[in-house]
Amino acid sequence: MNRTRALLGAVSLLISGISSADEWASMAITPGVGRLEVVSNYLIFSSSTNYDVEIPPKIPDGSRIQIRYKKDGSWIDGSFFVAGISARGDLCWLHSELPSQYSKSPSDTIYVKPCRYK
């Protein structure tokens, strides 16, 4: 009986892990706003600051997009290179650098919810 419970538990964990895995996308369809996380890497640690950001409604992977956000009371217009788009459910991450097994340091990211992706 205990073996059956353990097997069922292991199978359910495996299935839930598969269904919640991140997917990579070639295009993100956004509501035009997101949350920009700007990462500052220091020698021993990194810190981040978040801003509400205006973004285009359609964002292809590998593109440079125009963004606009408010910092210290002033509007900042800039660009953001989308190195990759990952998604889970209706949440998309626009990565400025692709995650790597060789680099554990975080990079600037825009979080978009709700998001549709292809």
pLDDT tens readout for residues 22-71:
899 999 999 999 999 999 877 778 899 999 999 999 999 999 999 999 99
Provide the residue type at 75 as one letter.
Answer: W
Closest by CA to 106, choosing from 37, 54, 11, is: 37
Q: What is the pTM of this model?
A: 0.77
Classify 30 in phi/psi space as left (phi over 0), alpha (psi -120 to 50) or beta: beta
Average pLDDT over residues 71-79: 97
Q: What is the pLDDT of residue 103?
A: 65
Omega of the bond leading into 99 within 30 degrees of 0 (cis): no
DSSP secondary structure letter of residue 95: E
- Of how many residues is the chain composed? 118
Band (pLDDT 50/70/90 cuts) for residue 4 is very low
Residues 6 or more apart from 67 whose CB is under 8 A from it? 36, 53, 54, 55, 77, 78, 79, 80, 110
Report in angstroms the alpha-carbon separations of 8 from 5, 14, 98: 5, 10, 36
